[in-house]
Structure 1
């Protein structure tokens, strides 16, 4: 389901880091602030609807405990950062982002290692990225110089000592220092390249160039590096270890865009990756994860759509957002289910939502919903707005009790969930991709009186009335 900056190294230190490439803002001021790249992308997009990302943000904010995401092994700092990055794009969540930063910064060593025996390159790159967009100093974040540590974990241009130096084929590659092994990968490399570039590090160019080596000729990025003793260190299409990975490709795009690197090599790499991602997108708007997951899901779709949105491919970003929004149940009012208390959460796959409507989100599945939602917030940034104000019209002025009467609903955003209801009857509806009206019938109750029919979304409602006679 996720590409991680890898593993749980001890029972106390959770390093699950399905990575997102956006920003986070610390106090003061307590306000979320999307990155310049996201602001520019949304300005280039058609009119967008903030509702799905807002309600997803409200749900995931409620999942935090004292500013941290806590899993079965304790605080999950990687998911905490992902959550803060996502929430930074939602205007109402500045206070939550502040709380995340205030809890994370004093404990950053638990995530990146102690800097002596343990130093985790991918986590350092991601943490430094987080610090930068949080308007904190990554050279002194929680008392740790994240940039210096990251430079230490980035291979130099030569090996040996002068005058007996030799060119290093691993130049720019990140690696972990750990008794548990080296788990550095391409996701971590993309964060390292971004963080070092934004810090004007002398090693930024090498880190970026090594990242670009992980892009195959078709435009995708692979997930893992070659073993250190392999001479080329470059993605080789059709060779074991160089399989296409849409999640990793999307994250590489996000981090390259956010790095601000406008060099010809990066511009060319982004163009190729954007073409590959757009070709990989299904007609429904969804993306399928790489093996071994190999399934369509909201994580891959949200990341792919967000990356394409940052590349100003607004049609592809819109299609992805619509698909993700379909997997955000809004079962409120008369349409309520066991998921109503989790309104805004995004299911990893449709079947997860179907099951949870009866029993709620199982305790052992809550982590999956959190991860899906943290990434969905990003893809939902490009959800299209409705063309019209929400309203409901009855085709009849009066009717008899028990009759099924047609109602027309206007102003639902594409893929937006709503509940159409009258006393004694209700139906769930979703906005059409075209934005056109929805037509449904409701059975009228008994009683000689005027009855109100309503359509209710997560944050709005409209009503009409008609005379009912027995």
Structure 2
């Protein structure tokens, strides 16, 4: 039974199912987003081009902290694949991620379950074997970080001297990766993720304490949260819900929650405490999910807001950053000197998470005005 909303599988122009290798196909690879004859919006292609230009040997490098940023590189890969499935950058990214497993997911004696989950999903969607990706069995390693029984059955966790920071973002990636890999842990991982959905329809970000007898969202009396977690869960899992009624029902409830959080100008707010503001990350993820769910009007409004925060053809220092998407109004107005080393991480993540929402952008949506360099 299919999910009640029109599921749009991103095969020719989107996220799920394949990331590049034609030799490995899932059963729904022949489906496309909407009308396959519709050209990809120029705004989306410009963003993909900017992201590709940020890579260094297939990986993003954080010049401020002098380290490779593998996590945002995965986000970038999915965003670029959504817009330009033939991108040559995807092969280079796969090589870089395969060589960076230990640095990213297993530095020293630590093991980060969310990072493993992203790598398992990436390998599967790239058409590679996650049980031999970079010479390692990532599925077995992720299964080892997935609880086997009791109230926490299916819950992922980190092994780290810094503490356990596993959350529903990583859980959603784990559900995708373990399901596509045919893992025996997949159903439990899915069930635990669904326990993080509150009656209002949103998925909470943070889990209960590991020793809590009740691990569900409603038991904790969680307050409604920004849409980011709920939107990511839909983006990653909507195709899996085609043959999973339980998951389909949960994701439909999530979309209803997302629709209810949209502001009149099309934006969505995210953050915490006093820092909850309209931003491209939240608006982009929500818009992407709405587009995939066939909620065209709401998706177009979100895409229009994102487009209003995308750098256009500016002169001066911003010329090299055409296509990049600012986090919010303040980031855009403060970028007259271009994207600096200090600000690069925010711009890259904002662009990666919001770019696919531009697949729904109306043709008359305006880009951001160029910031005043005077």
The TM-score normalised by the length of structure 2 is: 0.86
Partner SS for 2:76: helix
Question: Are residue 55 (structure 1) and residue 34 (structure 2) matched?
Answer: no
Partner SS for 1:338: helix
Question: Are residue 134 (structure 1) and residue 116 (structure 2) matched?
Answer: no
Query: Which of 113, 119, 139 is residue 111 of structure 2 equivalent to?
Result: 119
Q: How far apart, CA to CA, are the structure 2 residues paired with 1:128 and 1:272?
A: 27
Partner SS for 2:272: coil
Please say if residues 226 and 282 of structure 2, whose CA atoms lie closer than 8 Å, have aligned partners that are also in contact.
Answer: no
Partner SS for 1:69: strand
Query: Which of 139, 145, 156 is residue 147 of structure 1 equivalent to?
Result: 139
Residue in structure 1 matched with residue 227 of structure 2 by the alignment:
246
Query: Which of 46, 62, 67 is residue 74 of structure 1 equivalent to?
Result: 67
Residue in structure 2 matched with residue 181 of structure 1 by the alignment:
163
Query: How many Å apart are 1:290 and its aligned residue?
Result: 4.0
Q: How far apart, CA to CA, are the structure 2 residues paired with 1:221 and 1:36?
A: 26
Please say if residues 24 and 84 of structure 1, whose CA atoms lie closer than 8 Å, have aligned partners that are also in contact.
Answer: no
Decide whether aligned partners of structure 1 residues 310 and 38 sit closer, same or farther in structure 2, where only a CA change above 3 A counts: farther
Query: How many Å apart are 1:48 and its aligned residue?
Result: 6.2
Decide whether aligned partners of structure 1 residues 269 and 23 sit closer, same or farther in structure 2, where only a CA change above 3 A counts: same
Decide whether aligned partners of structure 1 residues 39 and 261 sit closer, same or farther in structure 2, where only a CA change above 3 A counts: closer
Residue in structure 2 matched with residue 65 of structure 1 by the alignment:
56
Question: Are residue 321 (structure 1) and residue 271 (structure 2) matched?
Answer: no
Query: How many Å apart are 1:91 and its aligned residue?
Result: 2.6
Partner SS for 1:364: coil
**Aligned pairs (5 A) from 1:216-235:** 216-235=198-217
Q: Where is the helix percentage greater, Structure 1 or Structure 2? A: 2
Decide whether aligned partners of structure 1 residues 288 and 175 sit closer, same or farther in structure 2, where only a CA change above 3 A counts: same
Q: Which runs of 5+ in 2 are unaligned?
A: 1-13
CA deviation vs aligned residue, 1:94-129 (integer Å, no higher than 9, x gap): 211111112221222221216x93322111111101
Aligned residues: 353
CA deviation vs aligned residue, 1:161-193 (integer Å, no higher than 9, x gap): xxxxxxx11111111122222111111111111
Residue in structure 2 matched with residue 414 of structure 1 by the alignment:
364
Q: Which runs of 5+ in 1 are unaligned?
A: 1-19, 158-167, 385-412, 419-427, 430-470
Query: How many Å apart are 1:260 and its aligned residue?
Result: 4.5
Query: Which of 371, 374, 379 is residue 352 of structure 2 equivalent to?
Result: 374
Query: Which of 103, 110, 124 is residue 96 of structure 2 equivalent to?
Result: 103
Please say if residues 49 and 383 of structure 1, whose CA atoms lie closer than 8 Å, have aligned partners that are also in contact.
Answer: no
Q: How far apart, CA to CA, are the structure 2 residues paired with 1:106 and 1:290?
A: 33
Decide whether aligned partners of structure 1 residues 131 and 242 sit closer, same or farther in structure 2, where only a CA change above 3 A counts: farther
Q: How far apart, CA to CA, are the structure 1 residues paired with 2:244 and 2:26?
A: 23
The TM-score normalised by the length of structure 1 is: 0.70
Query: How many Å apart are 1:337 and its aligned residue?
Result: 4.4
Residue in structure 2 matched with residue 91 of structure 1 by the alignment:
84
**Aligned pairs (5 A) from 1:248-327:** 248-260=229-241, 262-292=243-273, 293-327=275-309
Query: How many Å apart are 1:262 and its aligned residue?
Result: 2.7
Q: How far apart, CA to CA, are the structure 2 residues paired with 1:305 and 1:278?
A: 10
Residue in structure 2 matched with residue 351 of structure 1 by the alignment:
330
- Structure label with greater radius of gyration: 1
Residue in structure 2 matched with residue 338 of structure 1 by the alignment:
317
Partner SS for 1:376: helix
Query: How many Å apart are 1:36 and its aligned residue?
Result: 5.4
Query: How many Å apart are 1:351 and its aligned residue?
Result: 2.4
* Root-mean-square deviation over aligned CA pairs: 2.8
Please say if residues 197 and 261 of structure 1, whose CA atoms lie closer than 8 Å, have aligned partners that are also in contact.
Answer: no
Question: Are residue 362 (structure 1) and residue 356 (structure 2) matched?
Answer: no
Decide whether aligned partners of structure 1 residues 237 and 324 sit closer, same or farther in structure 2, where only a CA change above 3 A counts: farther
Please say if residues 329 and 345 of structure 1, whose CA atoms lie closer than 8 Å, have aligned partners that are also in contact.
Answer: yes
